[in-house]
Amino acid sequence: MHLLTEGAITFEVDGSFYNPRMRLNRDIGVAMARALRLVQYVDALSASGIRGLRAAKEANVQEVTLNDVSPRACELIRRNSARNGLACEVTCSNANVLLHERHFQAVDLDPFGSPSPYLSSASRSARSYLFVTATDTAPLCGAHLCSGVRKYMARPLRTDYHREMGARILLGLAARELARLDKAMQPMLTHVTDHYVRTYLRVVEGAKAADKCLEKLGYVEHCQGCGSFVLLFEPRPEGTCCHCHGKTTLAGPLWLGKIQEADVICRALENLDSSARARRLLEMCAAEVDVPMYYDHHSICERLNITPGRIDDVVEALCKSGYKSSRTHFCGLGIKTSAPLKVVEDATRGA
Ligand SMILES: C[S@@+](CC[C@H](N)C(=O)[O-])C[C@H]1O[C@@H](n2cnc3c(N)ncnc32)[C@H](O)[C@@H]1O
Ligand SMILES: [Zn+2]
């Protein structure tokens, strides 16, 4: 039998699914579980159980439930739990059945592809927290329009900021699913890494809170000609770009509210075991300004036909001019700013 180690867990995989490239995702999951002092947690789609076993052992979560629809995976999870001296509950249900029947403090969805088929039951089940991974970045980020509309009831658009577009389309669906149940969400940490979106949501009960949450849904009106975009809270028919007067296209509905909570991310950082990449990622997320989407430094330089200068100089110049601006974890060349494209172009020329 072939044994693997991840974090404090030694486990077998035995034909079930295990993706070592998701380790960073799980490392951050452990840090968040510690920061939030979770006491009850379910991984509704567990495979080998590694995610929940790490939560139990490394974050000391007292009640961990590991669920998988596959009886073979459940046998494996039982063995992995026992091997690590843990007494996790193992259930062999369809995730939707389990989540409709029971409530958990924290619900984690980490499926193959889209979490959309499980978001309704997970929203019902989650008392305080909902954590979601989506690996279907093509429909989320605008490469597959029809499946984006089917899975997320939103129109995605391929843009320079497609990674953040994907995250906000997923968040938009989560906000609507929770609102149907008189619940609101507060995103604490959202990151797009490799080819997946991951978000950690606090769930708050109440019709008023849900109404307020829905007010943060909106649209992006994007110009493919010059890359300029504006945020809208009401959709309108195809408009005209205020920068180049070209035709614009609408994406959404999507979440335009906050996606990072620096306090929580800093607590996660304090609770993160040595992982330089995860640390860098969390530091960048915590430092991002609360401004949806970003401009791509190289795209701007290309359109202006100039050699790119230092991106940090552009960000600094924008800050000095009084605009909220920062770099972003979504893209090494991204500039988040409250400044209009015209001002960003001037700052880019000056850099
Ligand atoms: C991507 S893997 C989970 C990976 C795991 N969370 C981790 O961190 O390693 C998805 C798992 O979901 C299970 N699955 C698929 N459909 C399911 C369903 N409807 N209900 C419960 N489990 C399901 C599969 O058997 C598979 O083991
Ligand atoms: Zn334009």
State if residue 189 touches ligand 1 by the CB under 6 angstroms criterion: no
pTM, 2 dp: 0.97
The span from the CA of 295 to the CA of 90, in Å, is 46
Query: Do you find a cis peptide bond into 237, omega within 30 degrees of 0?
Result: no
Upper half-sphere CA count for residue 44 (Cβ side, 13 Å)? 32
Q: What is the pLDDT along the chain (351 residues), one digit of tens a residue?
A: 789 999 999 999 988 899 999 999 999 999 999 999 999 999 999 999 999 999 999 999 999 999 999 999 999 999 999 999 999 999 999 999 999 999 999 999 999 999 999 999 999 999 999 999 999 988 888 788 888 899 999 999 999 999 999 999 999 999 999 999 999 999 999 999 999 999 999 999 999 999 999 999 999 999 999 999 999 999 887 789 999 999 999 999 999 999 999 999 999 999 999 789 999 999 999 999 999 999 999 999 999 999 999 999 999 999 999 999 999 999 999 999 999 999 999 999 987
| Nearest residue by C-alpha to atom 16 in ligand 1 | 69
Please choose, from the candidates 129, 140, 136, the residue with its C-alpha nearest in 3D space to the C-alpha of residue 61. 129
The span from the CA of 135 to the CA of 121, in Å, is 19
Which H or E run includes 264? helix 262-270
State if residue 13 touches ligand 1 by the CB under 6 angstroms criterion: no
Distance between first and last Cα of the chain: 58
188 CA from centroid of ligand 1 (Å): 24
Q: Do 281 and 200 meet the contact criterion of CB atoms below 8 Å apart?
A: no
State if residue 24 touches ligand 1 by the CB under 6 angstroms criterion: no
The span from the CA of 119 to the CA of 28, in Å, is 21
Task: Give the atom of ligand 1 at the shortest distance from the alpha carbon of 43.
Answer: 6
| Nearest residue by C-alpha to atom 12 in ligand 1 | 45
The residues near 111 (Cβ < 8 Å, ≥ 6 apart) are 45, 95, 117, 118, 133
State if residue 233 touches ligand 1 by the CB under 6 angstroms criterion: no
- Lookup result for tokens 């995103």: 187
State if residue 23 touches ligand 1 by the CB under 6 angstroms criterion: no
State if residue 51 touches ligand 1 by the CB under 6 angstroms criterion: yes
- Lookup result for tokens 């304090």: 270
Instruction: Give me the pLDDT at residue 148, please.
Output: 86
- Closest ligand to the CA of 244: 2
Task: Give the atom of ligand 1 at the shortest distance from the alpha carbon of 112.
Answer: 1
Query: In angstroms, what is the C-alpha Rg of the chain?
Result: 21
State if residue 42 touches ligand 1 by the CB under 6 angstroms criterion: no
Residue ranges and CATH numbers for the domains of the chain are 3-287 (3.40.50.150), 295-350 (3.30.56.70)
| Nearest residue by C-alpha to atom 9 in ligand 1 | 18
The span from the CA of 65 to the CA of 330, in Å, is 32
| Nearest residue by C-alpha to atom 5 in ligand 1 | 46
Q: For the chain, what is the total number of helices (H) and then of strands (E)?
A: 14, 15
| Nearest residue by C-alpha to atom 8 in ligand 1 | 51
Instruction: Give me the pLDDT at residue 147, please.
Output: 87
Which H or E run includes 9? strand 9-12
Instruction: Give me the pLDDT at residue 12, please.
Output: 95
Full DSSP string of 83-125? HTT---EEE-S-HHHHHHH--EEEEEE--SS--HHHHHHHHHH
State if residue 92 touches ligand 1 by the CB under 6 angstroms criterion: no
